[in-house]
Amino acid sequence: MKYILLAIIPIILASCNNSGQKTIAAASDSTSAKKARVAIPSFNKDSAYSYVVAQLAFGPRVPGSQAHEKCAGYITGKLKSWCRDVIVQKCRMAAFNGKMLDGKNIIASWKPGLKNRIVLCSHWESRPWADHDPDPKLRRKPVDAANDGASGVGVLMEVARQFSLKEPSVGIDIVLFDLEDYGPPQDESRGDDKWWGLGSQYWAQNPHIQGYSARYGILLDMVGAPGATFLLEGLSQEYAADIQRKIWDAANRIGYSSYFLYEKGGMVTDDHVFIMKYMSIPVVDLIHLDKSTESGFYPYWHTTHDNLASIDASTLKAVGQTMLTVAYEEE
């Protein structure tokens, strides 16, 4: 509950949803003819899943560890095999505890000269502490971060592979952030949002290309759990409502209505906040929210159970196919 402000006025929400539904139907009617012209490649869920497996094989990718170093090399190598323009942006950031962290934001760009572009992002490193584990003895153990890390990267790696086979018409940047999840452990009560998203804070203030901008961004966070529910995250709704609607409409149109719910979720301090703040690019957080858990996130969030067993390739497919649909339909 500390990190996520849940909506408290269900009556107002219900009426918003109802009027929203009509607009959705009208919008998809008028655009369906144009949409039908674009052939959308098929996202390979087994391929995405294999990229999740490969990341986990290094062990927890905790900043400063060998696994972290090796995994950065793995992701960079794969992206270079699919994309000519890959940049590894190094940063050195102070953590909440004074420790200096060496981070790497990994960036792949298609049509880098084009102004008309969108940015897809996720974070790739693991949280050092499973501070929300039900077992207090495990709360200082690192998180495998299958869902909270590897899932978004796995999806975007497969998206990158698809881009290598067929370029979308707009420019695209895939930005994989480091140092997202080094925020203070729950029991240390240093409740300041500035200790989260260190990699994205660095990139947003020191873009890989001077004067970088994009029309909009999509952040993938925890996109691999079985039966995931993507609610309309509050800050995205406030600052990027039209983009959020476009993504949810695309997902619902291609058959993923059980994952993409037109239901308001809480506000999350995630990487998208810093991109919006420092770059003024509207960014939607596509994140698994669950109103039945105490945290508001998916049940295994920041626990030792966030491992390979909590990943379902069908969820990766729903998210990945939606990303391809949005990207290839953009003109």
The residues of the shown chain that bind ligand AHN, judged by CB under 6 A, are: 3, 148, 181, 183, 193, 196, 221, 268-270
306 makes contact, choosing from ligand AHN, Zn ion, none, with CB < 5 to 8 Å by partner type, with: none
Nearest approach, Cβ of 143 to Zn ion (angstroms)?
Answer: 7
Pick 147 or 244: Cβ nearer ligand AHN: 147
Pick 89 or 269: Cβ nearer ligand AHN: 269
Pick 44 or 96: Cβ nearer ligand AHN: 96
158 makes contact, choosing from Zn ion, ligand AHN, none, with CB < 5 to 8 Å by partner type, with: none
Nearest residue to ligand AHN by CB is 3
Nearest approach, Cβ of 242 to Zn ion (angstroms)?
Answer: 27
Pick 104 or 302: Cβ nearer Zn ion: 302
Pick 106 or 145: Cβ nearer ligand AHN: 145
Q: Pairing state of beta strands 171-177 and 100-110?
A: antiparallel
Nearest approach, Cβ of 170 to ligand AHN (angstroms)?
Answer: 27
Pick 148 or 290: Cβ nearer ligand AHN: 148
Pick 2 or 34: Cβ nearer Zn ion: 2
178 makes contact, choosing from Zn ion, ligand AHN, none, with CB < 5 to 8 Å by partner type, with: none
- Given a contact cutoff of 8 angstroms between Cβ atoms, the answer to whether 248 and 229 are in contact is no
Nearest approach, Cβ of 286 to ligand AHN (angstroms)?
Answer: 12
Nearest approach, Cβ of 149 to ligand AHN (angstroms)?
Answer: 8
Starting from the edge strand earliest in sequence, which strands make up the sheet with 171-177, in order? 85-94, 100-110, 171-177, 117-123, 216-221, 283-287
Pick 169 or 307: Cβ nearer Zn ion: 307
The Cα 169–Cα 111 span in angstroms is 9
- Given a contact cutoff of 8 angstroms between Cβ atoms, the answer to whether 48 and 157 are in contact is yes
221 makes contact, choosing from Zn ion, ligand AHN, none, with CB < 5 to 8 Å by partner type, with: ligand AHN
270 makes contact, choosing from Zn ion, ligand AHN, none, with CB < 5 to 8 Å by partner type, with: ligand AHN
265 makes contact, choosing from Zn ion, ligand AHN, none, with CB < 5 to 8 Å by partner type, with: none
Instruction: Output the CA angle 84-89-91, nearest 5 degrees.
Output: 170
Residue ranges binding Zn ion (CB under 5 A): 127, 148, 181
Nearest approach, Cβ of 148 to ligand AHN (angstroms)?
Answer: 5
Nearest approach, Cβ of 83 to Zn ion (angstroms)?
Answer: 27
The Cα 234–Cα 265 span in angstroms is 6
The Cα 281–Cα 275 span in angstroms is 6
Nearest approach, Cβ of 137 to ligand AHN (angstroms)?
Answer: 22
